[in-house]
Amino acid sequence: MDFLPGFHPVGVAQWALVVTSIGIVLLLSFLVLNSRQAGLSHIPGPFLARYTDGWALYTAWRGIHFHNKVHVQRGLQARYGDVVRTGPRSVTVFDPAAVPVIYGVRSKLDKGNAYVPFRQAGMTTSLLSIPDEKTHSQYRKLVSNAYSMTSLKGYEPYVDDMVNRFVEVCNQHAFARKPMNLSLWCQYYCFDVVSKITMGKPLGSMQGEGHDAYGLVQRVRAFGFYSGLVSQMPWLHKVLQDNALMRKTRPSPFMKVVGGTVQARLRAPDPEDQPRPDLLSHFVATHAGYPSLMDEKQVLIMTSGNLIAGGLSPSASFDELCRYLATHPGSQDKLYAELQQAQCRLPASYDHVKNLPYLEGTIREAYRLHSSTSFNLQRVTGTAGLELPNGVQIPPNTNIGCPAGAINQDVRVFGADAAVQPRAVDAARERNE
């Protein structure tokens, strides 16, 4: 019996449909408003990028997955020009002349949220992830003496120890006619070097047959993948990592060993087996002088951050340098001849090799083609906005950055053969002279 004619009970399915539709309409309105408010409608770019960082996230994933990041960047530049909108509030600048304007020490732009994934749970003061330039330079000043030229020269004997071990390993493989995975050993070598100059002792990756000590190489690689993606949509970091749950997880074996060393050195700053200052001695001395700014936790953050930052980029660069030399025997011969003529001994001293043009050119060319970061080093325009050298106006509070990979292949800077990969090292030499 139907006692309410005309009334049909609304099912769960219909309600869900209504709620979802309202949700979608609200989300779309938010995206459109957010896009309008950014004031970037005068900057061309892919349609989706105007409304969502999802475009950049997807593009970053493809770049990592297919190893074609620079190719994708150059495609964007060819299509949209030197200034491209790559997100609702993000702009990518391909003009080499903009590099000093965005990154120069005098421009003092703050870092953007792309650095948020570098924040370990609960720790906000690693140098790399401090966003505002004032705080950053304050912390940088605290540790800058550890990186002065005089200090660097003091670390040289430490590096020599590691060079000797590396050469020993190469020789063992050569005499036994055993293939050696140079990529892998470049990583072992660089992480041992940075550990030796930071804490006075290597992690031990180069011992015996060589192994990934404390799983650091593996972890750093996984983190590179994570940060490459999450930097494009930084709020994801809060959801995935920087939350109460993750803060309670146990420290990794790597953090444990670094923590142990730091604690010991804070208690006994000058151990007997430590004849020369390493980076940690500088940090500990700063702690003694400015205990409130450089507290014990800060010493740990600087030490562990240095180990990761100082192992990752150098090992990738060294690996690529070796690969270019291995694939260009002519360049290898030329480099060898230059080193022989300079009567270079092993291990070479910095003063002995610092003015060798072909060596310098080889290293610079490897840096040029080096595929360091998977995202732009992001900065944020200040309250006044920013005028780019080509006259384009960028409004205030806009994320801005230059893609190093594409700019390093820009014909305006490096000449017509800039995109030849890998190109003869001779060209690098000419540029360098």
Ligand X SMILES: *[C@@H]1O[C@H](CO)[C@@H](O)[C@H](O)[C@H]1NC(C)=O
- Binding residues for ligand X, per CB under 6 A? 181, 183-184
Cβ proximity to ligand HEM, 257 vs 404, nearer residue? 404
Length of the chain measured in residues: 433
Residues 297 and 292: their CA atoms lie apart, in Å, by 11
Binds 371: which of ligand X, ligand HEM, none (CB < 5-8 Å by kind): none
For the bound state, the minimum distance from the C-beta of residue 99 to ligand X, rounded and expressed in Å, comes to 31
Q: Give Dmax over CA atoms of the chain in angstroms.
A: 106
- Name, in order, each residue with C-beta under 8 angstroms of 411's C-beta and a sequence gap of 6 or more: 418, 419
Q: Which residue of 298, 317, 362, 376 would you call a contact of ligand HEM, by CB under 6 A?
A: 317
Residues 338 and 268: their CA atoms lie apart, in Å, by 46
Contact between 354 and ligand HEM (CB under 6 A)? no
Cβ proximity to ligand HEM, 75 vs 100, nearer residue? 100
Contact 259, 280 (CB under 8 A): no
208: region left, alpha or beta (phi > 0 left; psi from -120 to 50 alpha): left
CA 368 centroid distance within chain: 15
- Name, in order, each residue with C-beta under 8 angstroms of 39's C-beta and a sequence gap of 6 or more: 395
For the bound state, the minimum distance from the C-beta of residue 151 to ligand HEM, rounded and expressed in Å, comes to 10
- Interacting residues with ligand HEM between 214 and 253 (CB under 6 A): none
Cβ proximity to ligand HEM, 80 vs 94, nearer residue? 94
Q: Which residue of 43, 194, 262, 301 would you call a contact of ligand HEM, by CB under 6 A?
A: 194
Binds 348: which of ligand HEM, ligand X, none (CB < 5-8 Å by kind): none
Residues 131 and 112: their CA atoms lie apart, in Å, by 7
Residues 239 and 335: their CA atoms lie apart, in Å, by 50
For the bound state, the minimum distance from the C-beta of residue 244 to ligand HEM, rounded and expressed in Å, comes to 27
Which of 246, 312, 258 shows the shortest CA–CA distance to 283?
A: 258
Residue 397 buriedness (CB in 10 A; 0-12 / 13-18 / 19+) = middle
Q: Which stretch binds ligand HEM (CB under 6 A): 3-11, 17-25, 247-255, 309-317?
A: 309-317
Binds 183: which of ligand X, ligand HEM, none (CB < 5-8 Å by kind): ligand X
Contact 419, 406 (CB under 8 A): no
Binds 184: which of ligand HEM, ligand X, none (CB < 5-8 Å by kind): ligand X
Cβ proximity to ligand X, 139 vs 188, nearer residue? 188
Binds 303: which of ligand HEM, ligand X, none (CB < 5-8 Å by kind): none
Residues 214 and 31: their CA atoms lie apart, in Å, by 44
Cβ proximity to ligand HEM, 194 vs 356, nearer residue? 194
Binds 377: which of ligand X, ligand HEM, none (CB < 5-8 Å by kind): ligand HEM
3-state secondary structure at position 377 = coil
For the bound state, the minimum distance from the C-beta of residue 225 to ligand X, rounded and expressed in Å, comes to 13
Q: Which residue of 48, 322, 377, 419 would you call a contact of ligand HEM, by CB under 6 A?
A: 377
Cβ proximity to ligand X, 180 vs 266, nearer residue? 180
Cα angle, residue 219 at apex, residues 367 and 166 outer, rounded to 5°: 55
Contact between 362 and ligand HEM (CB under 6 A)? no
Contact 93, 82 (CB under 8 A): yes
Interacting residues toward ligand HEM by CB under 6 A? 127-128, 140, 194, 305-306, 309-310, 313-314, 317, 372-373, 377
